[in-house]
Structure 1
Amino acid sequence: MLPTAAAWAAAERRSERVAQDWFASAPVAHLRAAFADADPLAVDAVAEAARDILHDADWITPLLVPLIAALANDPWFEPPLRVTRDRLRTTVELLELPAGMLSATVFDGAALATPTTETTLVASGRLMVARYPVTNGARLLRWHAGEANARFRAAEAPPLAAMPPLTLHDGDVVTIDGRTRAHLIEGTGGEVVALTFATRTAGLVREYARDSGHLLRVGATDQDQSRTRLLLTLLRHEGRRDAAGCFEAATYAPAFHLRWAAMREWLALDATTALPRLRTLAATDPHPEVRAAARATLPLVEARQCRA
């Protein structure tokens, strides 16, 4: 029988109390203190703080026990956590901090031990530090992907180069540099548990074919950049020509893909106003792909302006 509205409301209040107590708990305070002085942009320093905290296992059980107990005692308890699932794993985002995200992942043993031709390899763009409390003989397979710096070109990306695998042991703490490497967990049939801290500052995420090592696609994971693109799209849909300054500012962004995305939105909104900046990108943008795209677009825009 479905619960009544009153029962749902009571369950929500119980969940809120547990969540408030949990966020105010000593283990959460311990984690916040560990990264309190870390500059989110100083990725290597954040990773060092993450290694220090993950080498110490004393806080892990006290952090999780209250939530596990609430789940066991209350069938309607809603943890204050985001959960994602796929074929290989279930991941719980435990704590979001200015310096990064702490998450816990349980890898399905049967799925890890079952090879699939559909597997792709991902260089996440983030620097991660992981503690493996349970490994069951799993291995960390690794590939070198090269750097995706400000001059990265997808058409010239080298294929992945295999690195020696790393056999994991219970309690290992491993640094995984997704800025230059792709990785994959290979299991023997048993579950694998990981507690991971991922830095907030992110580069490009790159996906590769496992069989050939060739680059398949590239995406952006930076939240601020994604938010900027979303807002520019909204401004364009709303016809906000008075916001030309916002579009122009984004065409000077450090990320080359954001510069071009902003220019495309600006051209769709008001090609006349955007044209001078398009000419500048075509002539002087530091990234060759942006220059090429601008040069290919420029005569089309100019021809349309002449017909207008």
Structure 2
Amino acid sequence: MEPRDDLGDWLADGERQEQGRRRTAAARERLEALPAIRTFLSAVAGCCDGDAVRIGSAIEALFADTHWVNTLVRDWIGEARRDWFFTPPVRQATGPFHRSALLLERPQATVALCAIDPDALRARKRDAGGTGSVFFPGNRAYLKFIETGGLTMSFWAAPELDERTIDPADGRCRRTDCRRVDPGELVAVDMARQSYVFERADRPVLFLHGDVRVGGAALAGEFDAVSGALKGLSSGSQTWSRTQMMLSFLRLAGCREPGPSFDRIVADAPFFVRWHAMREWLALDSAAAWPRLSEMARHDPHPEVQAAARQVVTQLGARMSGLAACR
């Protein structure tokens, strides 16, 4: 594709680019000044882990009347007509069959405007060949459908994953419903125990997606859509995910005094974070970590962590005894 002449002019004109940035910033200010948006931002400000239901109610109130979506889209279209290089004040996200514009991003919640391409969705299903996964990320999600395009969704249930999750055979997911979605419908899902899958659509689908980012389950799970069996677990908490990342960073950085920080995490964090911390602590300073590892092998409340610690104690016991003798 040959670049347009006006693209070259725009790239060479720093003042015009700066005007575009100011225009984008002004559009952002207008978005957050919309009465419905302003009310929502005020409602979630200062919320924390214990306020997940309150945040969900604020999302439902925002989605009750979607005329504000028309207002902001008309605003962006008008700006684009005045300047072809206008950038809407949102961050874009894409998936295998959808595109999203992240309208609002706060520590407590996100709100996105999403579109599903029915052809891409059909291709995704065809490529999967009748297999696939159902995800239970542990948060609360709200979907308000503006244009349904004949969308059919399936709904799933599973046991909540927590410290008691030991054996993947303890719980399976199962499909509870499969139906068409109505225009204007609000679908609220507690994704610690429930989930959904977009099955098929006849035409493009447009919907708002609200995501509560606090107060979710500690664990996220992936289940096989055919057998219902648990396939894998990961952290469902941004806080604990970041904790794991920082523990790994401290180990890679060669933290000189890891004891207090690692010891506190090993004592109080969820089981999967405790074991992650212990592994990193052993890599940093095995002698300092050894007493806590030995205690973990005897008394950790989670059977998997206790078994893993016991195995490491057995494998490294002779080596650690030799190190202690040398000291």
Q: TM-score, length-normalised on structure 1?
A: 0.89
Maintained 8 Å contact 2:168/2:229: no
Q: Does residue 1:242 correspond to 2:251, yes or no?
A: no
Q: How does 1:18-29 map to 2 (within 5 A)?
A: 18-29=27-38
Maintained 8 Å contact 2:34/2:68: no
Q: How does 1:136-155 map to 2 (within 5 A)?
A: 136-153=149-166, 155=168
Aligned equivalents of 1:79, 1:283: Cα separation in 2: 57
Long gaps (5+) in structure 1:
none
- C-alpha spacing 1:41/1:302, structure 2 compared with 1 (3 Å): same
- In the TM superposition, what is the alpha-carbon distance from 1:128 to its structure 2 partner? 1.0
Q: Match for 1:129: what amino acid?
A: Y
Aligned equivalents of 2:74, 2:228: Cα separation in 1: 42
Query: How many aligned positions are there?
Result: 308
Specify the alignment match of 1:292 in structure 2: 307
Aligned equivalents of 2:78, 2:307: Cα separation in 1: 58
Maintained 8 Å contact 1:112/1:189: no
- More displaced stretch, 281-290 vs 124-133: 281-290
Specify the alignment match of 1:264 in structure 2: 279
SS at match of 1:298: helix
Specify the alignment match of 1:305 in structure 2: 320
Q: TM-score, length-normalised on structure 2?
A: 0.85
Maintained 8 Å contact 2:135/2:195: yes
Specify the alignment match of 2:12 in structure 1: 4
Maintained 8 Å contact 2:36/2:62: no
Which of 147, 151, 155 does residue 134 from structure 1 map onto? 147
Aligned equivalents of 1:41, 1:268: Cα separation in 2: 35
SS at match of 2:258: helix
Aligned equivalents of 2:198, 2:161: Cα separation in 1: 23
1:162-185 deviations in Å (ceiling 9; x for gaps): 102232100001111210123101
Maintained 8 Å contact 1:40/1:199: no
Which of 89, 109, 124 does residue 137 from structure 2 map onto? 124
- In the TM superposition, what is the alpha-carbon distance from 1:142 to its structure 2 partner? 1.1
SS at match of 1:19: helix
Specify the alignment match of 2:171 in structure 1: 158
Maintained 8 Å contact 1:39/1:46: no
Which of 90, 93, 96 does residue 87 from structure 1 map onto? 96
- C-alpha spacing 1:75/1:218, structure 2 compared with 1 (3 Å): farther
Aligned equivalents of 1:247, 1:70: Cα separation in 2: 52
Aligned equivalents of 1:111, 1:16: Cα separation in 2: 33
- In the TM superposition, what is the alpha-carbon distance from 1:90 to its structure 2 partner? 0.9
Specify the alignment match of 2:39 in structure 1: 30
Specify the alignment match of 2:210 in structure 1: 197
Long gaps (5+) in structure 2:
1-6
- Give the structure with higher Rg (CA): 2
Specify the alignment match of 2:196 in structure 1: 183
SS at match of 2:92: strand
Q: Match for 1:66: what amino acid?
A: D
Maintained 8 Å contact 1:22/1:66: no
Maintained 8 Å contact 1:275/1:301: no
Higher helix share: 2
